[in-house]
Structure 1
């Protein structure tokens, strides 16, 4: 160190003024002087070459005698040759004379510095990135981050550094010139020249610095949840007042937006339940559960065609109702989220809870009187009713958002962890990576608060609001997230719509999108038409060719012709295509009573447009000779001079083109539902006694004490009354292990009745029987994993739990530790020993021998064995293809789950759960009179309200069925339509589905393996003239009439060079089987062509067998091109966005396209018969009781005889082997 540093060192060492260090070992010590040269050095200065930057000046401090150097380690002054060397790589001192090997040469410590034998070789030291090795590498290098404010610390070391003229980038590895430095935004790096959009400003990266345009941007205020606010200027706060408040108000009274907050929790938290907008004399009311109310009139049908009243446009986009005006835009999710965007022309001219919009959030806490106060004081001052009590203390404890709600804390933490958890399966991960921890913590705490405190029956809704708010934030930074799923805030789409995380804010409709507000950019979440469809006037997605046309508020179907003015127009693709009429035709077609004819163009316009102060004729003759006053008392004169019928004045809907007929009106509309006593608000009857105050601040008449007597419909069995009479809840809330009543009475005296399900012991919770003893606790009290003893037909997993024997070694992991697929039995091939106390399902096998072994369990060296032999044969050689029958009976079979929003033409069997959340139709081509099941579902059901079964019945393995009408049923709380109900079809519980699905799983997987082992008898041709074509040429068949091909999926479906697949059945094969191997397989390019695959007969006799297991659970078989023929892929999860024209049997399926016919046609086989003869040989005191037959599910039973001479403690094993005559599934086993 220099003398200035030495002086500081003395001071730090607490030496008295004027007194310096003394050495205990007798070496030279420092002495104090008022003038010490700054160019006297320490040992460390020798190593760092500090003399290169020495400024010789006089300083007070401690100094070493001349020609000595301060050694900080010994705190003494020593000669240069005594100075140690500091090795930065090991952070240790090397004594003088010691050697050190550095990268490529030996170095010796001398006078505080390393002297190396080959100093040039150090330049070859491998440095990260494009750095170089240097003896004078700065310890505080210049980087892209500090390049503007860089200050050199003048300390150096030997090591890696940037070449001259370059600086380190953010990764600390790469060196670039300063003008190549990347810029940072939202945790991302941008190179020079790249642009981003910040609000409305374009920003360009240049040399690590953003240069942005300086336009005044629109700004958005947000109010969500319980409620949490973000002002126009970005101040974030929460406020729990119970009143009506000015959310945003323009100072010149052009518009105001009021928010009503009412209680939604037992501890005083409130939620925004009503928004009232006052704009240019019109009133717009947004009430939860109702359509938009404009001037007291409830609007309808604004989802597909916006309602435009003067300068106000009302329309739907995704989950949001949107109110658009030239001054502001409001997005409301019809619950407790509202986004208010005010345009930049009002900057600095706003007030209310959303702040003043002046780009400075420090003054957003000013009260209505302009006084700077606290958040509570500011918010209290914006009440619209002075009778409301002021909030005295905000309820949010940022340190513990769940304080006082311990029973909800764990649930809330688990659900809200999506916001900042970085687990591999968190859908929000891409967004989390771009947000700083402060933002994430704010969203997380708000989510915890809402989930814990919103406890009046709407907890899940409050949670979903928090997660949706976070998802909207992700959308705003350009990272849309598909975060919803059937068990977490599901969203059901109907009318052919599909869910999108980022759909167009102005969706295209058959009427176009040329209405006010659709210059808006950005996207919103919700249900939208797919890219190839448009929304018609009924809100249904249709092809453009089916779009209707609109004129004068009337709908005209495609192909309609109308006369419009001097034009004849034909409706095509949603719009009129017009041609001009002759003058004579035009004059003949103008209505004398309702239309005015322009003088020059002869165009006809509505007579009400005449003299309305707006030019509508091209020659402006519609405003000639006008007296702007209505002629009689039955007319109303608009401000623009237009005359309308007096009955239209103050009817709630603007009829004047300038909207002046609805200004300064007082509206009185009769209430046909529940009239609130104080606020006089009219709310739906269904809101009464629902546990949530909806009448508004100061009026709780919808939740009055007489709820129990007057409004809670107990007789219907659909509702439950809390003991304190404060809440009337859906019956589904009773005994659901969740406190919904304030007094907890909904969870008292719960005697669970779980129909066809397992009832947890200490809590009222029903779970699927398949989840009991599976090694994973599903009950809250974990009693589903107690006392688990597997039956003889089950396998005990190492992690606990039982699985059906048919699931052992089936290629799919069922046990939590995977031991059902690593079990020693799984290595069995043909003629392999399998130990078991019994064996089953040998009906498909030629049995060669059976034997027993008896051994002492405690002394493995002592073994006594006896062998019993049985011989027999089955009578059918083709019984293994019994699985083909299922593909002939069903259009679609899933061994696991089905998730679909599309149609299945014929019968469907789902051996897992049905997860459809959107429109789907089943059996659309079955006979209308069918009454046998068209849709069979083994486990849970979750689908949209528009699910339809066109023909036949529906079967489920458990639950309850309620018949609403012959064509409508409620199954486990889900509505579905049965079109054939009038013919005798129904919805019913079929408890045999478990057994059926086990059999189907076994048969389908066995069938696939059987086909894979058939010898190929045909070849594939790639014509020289068509190098992109693959032709399956059938010239041979086997004895059963089968044409067999064997290829890999890479050669066929995944081969990007194959653009055409064709089959030529020259030998008239009964069925063409194409076996495809490979652990990954998808069909995303090319086409299946030719008369065979495009004909019904050909598709019904073509079977694609993809028989191997995928390489991992995450690998799906994606089908994006039309697939022709039956698909057998029992181990694959299949995702489709194109049709499958044939039967399909797969593991899981996510279908976004149709499953069409025909079903598979396959040769039938005689069912196997019992063996006609067998022999048995016993050589020990044990004898076997012979079975009556050897076929499916027959057990060979053994009984001991004269066992007294046998070892006292024994275990019995059968040794079973089978021949390779038929490749069937091995017998199930159990020790």
Structure 2
């Protein structure tokens, strides 16, 4: 957790938090952005340049430290080799061939990688008449996804990829384009070969096997693998020359795209100059315009690896096409980890996008390295999501099965039973296809009623009769019959029906039992008003209405014995047994409300009263009296004692004497004078009690106070 513990002595330890130095910005010679990497302890970080070597075309090189040069030979050469072998004999070779014998130009044929005891070959071969990417491990063809001895094989878009996670190496090859990426922390200052030294210094980039520094085109000849010089025909000349450009060669149109707005958003991420130079070199020396495509392709690939999407092929007038199988579509910026049915697929590390062939929208790649797109995925294992191989199910009225061999979903139309012949001959019925509840994908024919198909029926009735439509059970079309009744304002009313009339009468259609044939007449009677009103209400006629209504004219006070009392507006009333409660009737906004007022009596204790003075208050509700004087007695209380800034920690019980004693002043006949008698309520027995007080300075003080034990009336001089 980024702390250091130092054992000192006497079983004591010192814990120190790791202090990281300030992170310093660095500038990389190859103009690639520096990346932030952790130190060995994993607590602190520092910037580090990226060791990236790439090549393309016939062929053009950009070394680890960003030096661009062109090298034209058709032998096998050392691309990368360790000066001091640290990582299991790791090295990378390139095998060139003459791709344009007329001009003596060469192109990359294959990349050879050595690590531990393994030999890896990435190349392109003719398979079924088509040039195809082929990967070898120890001289045996392997497929993407193969891994052994710490070496991982995969493909991404058009690239073959070999990754060695133990040393952080990634090598890609797509025919005309290759790249070697190594971590500076492991390979910095320890590489040599045609890719350079990876020292973040262009001045020592072009190193000969002897350690001498020279120019890169001359250095490249010296990294021939083995002593076979027959492949190049002649030993390296002292002055390196390249085929001269065609006379009057102007900048090819394809090359201009690199510096145009097509690649503009990548210019600040990766400098375009080396790729532009390589494109012009190829365009001015090789008549085949497609050779220029490799310069644009590698620039777009490097941009995509850093998350910058360049859609450039459509701007080349079909000179640089990218052909996909019929079931896939080309995307210039597809995901480096497209969705597949195989839940065990391992995601490619890093970020960015890549060009290549992808499944169209709504379809999923069967597996990472297949070219098959499916609408639905089958299961690859019991733990992954999907459907088990061989499992069958129904979807969208199709019977589907997950093929055990191809793991593809195959569906056929759901088979329905032969329909039964149904004839709808009754009037108004028509055949309708209805979904079968137990088999929703199939339908059956049923006869449904459609009254718009019924024939028109005309029926003549006598005056006072109406044509009535009746639908018999089980029939679709109705039948008509005549029925007598009342016709008022051109509206027919059946016998017994209420006929709308005025507010003060009610009318019905009444059938006369004495007429033959039966005849119906309208009978009306005047409305009878109910004038009875409940207690407290008065019947009042309403202008313009047939009957009046009951309006409240008094308040009703319910009593506890199931009786009520009628209280007029403004009247005050007390129940005969309760002078403390007063009822009154008040009118607010046309509503009568009963208001109840209750008097609350003060506390009354007859023991404290002079019995001769107990009486009712003037309103007859509460009792009152004259309080008799209390006799002399001892009273108890509690209080906090305070003395000279010290206080008791809790309230202390104290006592005192209080009450009335006999005292008078009256004339004595015997003494022929006024006789006076006085007595006081005071203590007659006390004791001394002690309490400990706490002072503000934290000390304690023992304090004594007088406690009254007994009180009495004691005579005193008047």
- Structure number with higher strand proportion: 2
More contact order relative to length (CA 8 Å, sep ≥ 6) = 1
Pair member with larger Rg? 2
Shorter-chain TM range is: 0.3 to 0.5
Query: TM-score, normalized by length of structure 1?
Result: 0.26
Query: TM-score, normalized by length of structure 2?
Result: 0.42
